[in-house]
Amino acid sequence: MSSSKSKDKSRLKGDKDRAALILQKQLKDLAKHPVDGFSAGLGDEGDIFKWHIFIMGATDTIFEGGMFNATLEFPDDYPNMPPTMRFISEMWHPNIYKDGKVCISILHPPGDDKYGYEDSGERWLPIHSVESILLSVISMLSSPNCDSPANVEAGKEYRENKKLFKKKVKRCVRKSQECF
- Bridge partners of residue 96, in order along the sequence: 102
Catalytic residue among 103, 146, 172, 179: 103
Catalytic site residue 103?
A: yes
Of 44, 130, 40, give the one whose Cα is nearest residue 84.
130
Alpha-carbon distance of 53 to 74, in angstroms, equals 13
Of the chain, the end-to-end C-alpha distance in Å amounts to 52
Contacts of 94 (CB under 8 A, 6+ apart): 144, 145, 146, 149, 150, 151, 154, 155, 158
Catalytically active residues are 103
